[in-house]
Amino acid sequence: MADHRYLSGNALVCGDNYAVLTNLPDECVDLIYLDPPFNSNQFYVAAFGDKGVVSQQLRDIWRWTVESQNAFDRLPRGQLRDSLRGVRLQAGEKSPMAAYAVFMGRRLAEMRRVLKPSGSIYLHCDPHANAYLRLLMDAVFGDANFRRELVWSNEDQSGFKSRANNWIRGHDTIFYYVKSAGLQTFTKQYNALDALTIRRYDKVDSDGRRYKIYNNRDGTQRIVYLKENRGAAMSSVWSDLPSFQKVNNTGEYLGYPTQKPVALLERVIEASSNPGDLVLDPFCGCGTAADAAASLGRKYLGIDISGIAVRLMQQRLESRGDVTAPVVYGLTWDEFEWESFERRALAQRDDVEDGIPGWAWAEDRVAALLNAVPNTRKQGDGGVDARYFGAMDVGRKEGVIIPIQVKMHRAPSVGRPDMDRLLGVQTTMNNRGLHAPMSVMVSLYPPPEPLRVFAAEQGRVTITTQEEGAVDYPRMQVLSVEEMLRHGERPKLPPVDPRSLVGDTQDKMLIL
């Protein structure tokens, strides 16, 4: 069943665009602009602090996974599949580029399906993958529907880019294709007249219209109005739109890492759509395309997988006040919380918010998620970041204490030495007469499979509580905050000692 909710004209959707696209009806969109990740193999960290919005980390790193293989295997025979086979041969069967190309190829096929016959698509890319993307666009849209390679010249002679021992990169590429050549909506755009040309129209008629007297070759004269001079038609090279690397002191800049200028989007939208048309941006970021579409009286559908991006778009469009507020779909607090968590957990050691460094804040949040008590001493804690106080183990006649270790690093966040240390801590606790039959390792990102196997190899332990009777628990567990926040997973733990939740565990904390 096709989903028509998103076609209202002011929709922002938080989710994977593939899922959203596959649910849209055929031929419902007039114009698509997309500015996807570029396979740049980089992390971007954005900070929107001064705009009151939290920052986020974007990953543009690709790997060939089981999902890539499945997606490739499910592609129907045809040009797209052949082209992807070509990419895999050229770039490596299981290369990051192959994974990226499969990701993009199947989304482009969906974009073609939802585009109206009069529709156009603009694919914005940088040199990391543009050769492959052109190949995929030809495969999906047909080379006969290729209209132009546009060059957005965004030269910036200063800063990081200029350090390369190379010709300094000065442009992005935008591939412009249409669904059916000849049927497309297109309004030619003209360069603004320069001041000198305008000054030549030095007379004003009784209706206030500026004009000049033009001398014809045959000696006669005629009146030429300024309004009739549309200037030179725009070419495929756009060098009048500075990027935010060059000019970021305009009120427009929100600090989103890959934010594009609204003027760039307005140019695309004015040329290839009419007022009232629906503009789709499936990788909408901070909502530049949606903002430009709203300004020009077009409808918009913006999609982004990042909750922070969608909140930022929402805020951007709501704060305008001159257009209908966006309707937001698919934004869950868990997704939003995961991104905020990730960003703050990875912040530099000296990046302190509300007086708490990110790593300490992350440890406290993990403790809260698990109903555990954080170790507030933090330094010299013998390797325990938090402790979970479980109910009385009837067999031992004492409460269970479970040491929790938290590793908030980039992937892989946790390694075998960390697991060994945690087992050592557990042994020390038991040697000191505490009842510590289990331990939990919490990483930021999902742990490598061998560590899960290692944890499982530690065996199981039976704990008997009045609340649940005899239950088998893993002696050691390892899981990530990402799995907890995004998928609701939790370690398997015996019932909590309710006194620990109200801070009544100080005596035990002191002897640890």
Identity of the residue, 304 or 335, whose beta carbon is nearer to ligand SAM in the bound complex:
304
Q: Is 16 an interacting residue with respect to ligand SAM (CB under 6 A)? A: yes
User: Which residues within the stretch 275-304 sit at the binding site for ligand SAM (CB under 6 A)?
Assistant: 283, 285-286, 288, 303-304
- 60: which 2 tokens? 């543009």
What's the min distance (Å) between Cβ of 162 and ligand SAM?
22
What's the min distance (Å) between Cβ of 327 and ligand SAM?
18
Which residue has the closest beta carbon to ligand SAM? 285
Q: How far apart are CA 352 and CA 344, in angstroms?
A: 9
Q: Which of 17, 68, 273, 314 binds ligand SAM (CB under 6 A)?
A: 17
Identity of the residue, 258 or 439, whose beta carbon is nearer to ligand SAM in the bound complex:
258
Helix then strand then coil, % of the chain, to nearest 5: 35, 25, 40
Q: Which of 30, 35, 335, 418 binds ligand SAM (CB under 6 A)?
A: 35
Identity of the residue, 88 or 260, whose beta carbon is nearer to ligand SAM in the bound complex:
260
Alpha-carbon distances, residue 410 vs 94, 326, 345, 369, 482 (angstroms): 23, 35, 9, 20, 12
Q: Answer yes or no: are the C-beta atoms of 330 and 13 closer than 8 Å.
A: yes
Q: Which of 256, 338, 361, 473 binds ligand SAM (CB under 6 A)?
A: 256
Identity of the residue, 268 or 406, whose beta carbon is nearer to ligand SAM in the bound complex:
268
Q: How far apart are CA 473 and CA 264, in angstroms?
A: 58
Q: Is 147 an interacting residue with respect to ligand SAM (CB under 6 A)? A: no
Identity of the residue, 59 or 200, whose beta carbon is nearer to ligand SAM in the bound complex:
59
How many other C-beta atoms lie within 10 A of the C-beta of residue 337? 16
Q: Which of 260, 311, 344, 435 binds ligand SAM (CB under 6 A)?
A: 260
Identity of the residue, 292 or 451, whose beta carbon is nearer to ligand SAM in the bound complex:
292
Nearest 5°: the CA angle 288, 283, 86 is 135
Strand partners, 462: 472
Q: Is 109 an interacting residue with respect to ligand SAM (CB under 6 A)? A: no
Q: State the virtual CA torsion across 370, 376, 377, 379 in degrees, nearest 10.
A: 60
Q: Is 338 an interacting residue with respect to ligand SAM (CB under 6 A)? A: no
What's the min distance (Å) between Cβ of 379 and ligand SAM?
37
Q: Is 243 an interacting residue with respect to ligand SAM (CB under 6 A)? A: no
Q: Answer yes or no: are the C-beta atoms of 274 and 186 closer than 8 Å.
A: no
- 473: which 2 tokens? 């628990």
Q: How far apart are CA 450 and CA 431, in angstroms?
A: 28
Point out which span in 201-209, 305-313, 345-353, 474-482 binds ligand SAM (CB under 6 A): 305-313
User: Which residues within the stretch 42-61 sit at the binding site for ligand SAM (CB under 6 A)?
Assistant: 58
DSSP assignments along 309-329, one per residue: HHHHHHHHHHHH-SSPPPEEE
Task: State the sign of the Cα–Cα–Cα–Cα dihedral 177, 183, 187, 188.
Answer: positive
Identity of the residue, 19 or 198, whose beta carbon is nearer to ligand SAM in the bound complex:
19
Nearest 5°: the CA angle 119, 124, 125 is 145
What's the min distance (Å) between Cβ of 253 and ligand SAM?
11
User: Which residues within the stretch 307-336 sit at the binding site for ligand SAM (CB under 6 A)?
Assistant: 309
Which parts of this chain interact with ligand SAM (CB under 6 A)?
Answer: 16-17, 35-37, 58, 256, 258-260, 283, 285-286, 288, 303-306, 309
